[in-house]
Structure 1
Amino acid sequence: MRLCSIASGSSGNCIYAGSGTTNVLIDAGISGKRIEQGLNSIGITGKDLDAVMITHEHSDHIKGLGVLARKQGIPIYATKETYDAILACPTLGQIPEGLYHEIEPDRQVEIGDMKIDPFSISHDAANPVGYRISSGKRSAAVATDLGVYDTYIINHLQSLDVLLLEANHDVHMLEVGVYPYYLKRRILGNRGHLSNEMAGQLLCELLHDNMKQVVLGHLSKENNYPALAYETVCAEVTMGDNPYRSRDFHISVAKRDEVCEVIEF
């Protein structure tokens, strides 16, 4: 399998996953042009995509969906509530009929040789999900926009080869920053985003001997820095109640506006 972050951050998210014969996107939150350029840089085109899996309807996850759908006719997978919210978004333009495929949390979808398991996440959207993707014995997951995590989330993220995990903000930066009070409360709330510390604590529940790589993603432009997210998560892992140290694993930070190195596993 292959996983590649084409863009990941509060301003736009688009993650590629491929098995060799099947290619999918998780979200399309950047322009259609940037999506195509990102795909081209890793050796594929929009025409090679078998599906776009949408986590939720916020603009940083669907910005390029309309262009992608009209230009390439790619099947769109999302929960009914999410898709209804997408259709109500005036900036996307017309989405051709017949492309939508309804999904439900905890109901597996098969696309080519991939098995995709949507799981519910706590976020202020219509019916948002994260995705676990498997092909053969390999598996990866994209888990962002988590206000909180619980046993349900932990169970869905066990025994992964690769994990892209949200490390959205530094709590102190957010608290003293310029955001209005209501927005700070939203981000810090149970339907907001995971802080660096919470990402590290969740990671402590998920690490195992065969974990290949962890990618920290969906960083806030205003309330985080890549180095800060990395150091905080690593500290939580090393000092946490688990048998590992951060240096035991390949931990990296996804770039906001650049295509990351393709992870093959």
Structure 2
Amino acid sequence: MSLHFSVLASGSTGNAFYIGTEKHSLLVDAGLSGKQMELLFKNVNREIKNLSGILVTHEHSDHIKGLGVLARKYKLPVYANEKTWAAMESNIGEIPTDQKFVFTMGSVESFGNLDVESFGVSHDAAEPMFYAFHHEGRKVVLLTDTGYVSDRMKGVTKGADAYVIESNHDVEMLRMCHYPWNIKRRILGDFGHVSNEDSALALTDMIGDNTKRIYLAHLSQDNNMKDLARMAVKQTLESKGFEVGDQFDLYDTDPKVPTKLAYV
């Protein structure tokens, strides 16, 4: 069984990502309740008790809501950078010291035959970071919750077999929505979230010959729609010469329904 993954949940109501090999598996973020997380794992026929650990991207509640519950119940090690640990500890309850590990931003940690490379993003959190996963020449990238995709991020993430990338909002929908202006400004700013068009433009510099799957993630429930996001990204990529549906496929993600296990 090769490198495989599922976007268990994605959106402002909660985020969770599962990835594994035949020997080791990881959960990235646990942004839903413990019960909901257990149901999501059941839906993809996986067991939380078999995880090698939980990685944390940042301390926002839609990424850590069920973290403490799962860590304590299943005695799982938790990995986050020092600033994220400091920012989230009061919100997750006590975690035994022997389950707490520091994963320094910009470093690589190995979980058996699964190597995980961390990289920083631009978001309004203490020290947000996301991950590129490597196994036997295969690469899967998880990249959401960033106001823009820098050249440095593109360098780390380039040429992956699969991407789970933020496509948060349609700019015009956001501008016209009921949100207060300060919230709109946050989302549109450099420390907010990437739009459909900006996600596609970033992908044009990241997609490689091995890229086969792209998952559009963290869609706003108020300012985006699955069909709209997919169409906007498809149009932009095709305008840059990519053949969507031939070179690679685009997939949706959902706040409550996990994606089918994908193998790369």
Q: What is the TM-score with the length of structure 1 in the denominator? A: 0.96
State how far apart, in whole Å, the 1-side matches of 2:138 and 2:256 are: 28
Shift of 1:208: 2.1
Shift of 1:226: 0.6
Shift of 1:103: 1.2
Q: CA RMSD in A?
A: 1.0
Shift of 1:185: 0.5
1:19-34 alignment runs, 5 A limit: 19-34=21-36
1:1-265 alignment runs, 5 A limit: 1-89=3-91, 92-240=92-240, 243-248=241-246, 249-265=248-264
Q: What is the TM-score with the length of structure 2 in the denominator? A: 0.96
Letter aligned with residue 30 of structure 2: A
Secondary structure of the residue aligned to 1:36 is helix
Asked if the contact 2:159/2:209 (under 8 Å) is kept, the reply is no
Shift of 1:70: 1.1
Asked if the contact 1:69/1:96 (under 8 Å) is kept, the reply is no
CA deviation vs aligned residue, 1:73-101 (integer Å, no higher than 9, x gap): 11111110001111122xx3332322111
State how far apart, in whole Å, the 1-side matches of 2:94 and 2:110 are: 27
CA deviation vs aligned residue, 1:203-244 (integer Å, no higher than 9, x gap): 11112222120000011111111111100000110112xx42
Give the 4+ runs in structure 1 shifted more than 6 A. Answer: none
Asked if the contact 1:146/1:193 (under 8 Å) is kept, the reply is yes
Secondary structure of the residue aligned to 1:139 is strand
State how far apart, in whole Å, the 2-side matches of 1:38 and 1:112 are: 25
Shift of 1:136: 1.1
State how far apart, in whole Å, the 2-side matches of 1:51 and 1:95 are: 13
State how far apart, in whole Å, the 2-side matches of 1:212 and 1:206 are: 12
Identity of aligned residues (%): 35
State how far apart, in whole Å, the 1-side matches of 2:25 and 2:86 are: 25
Shift of 1:37: 1.5
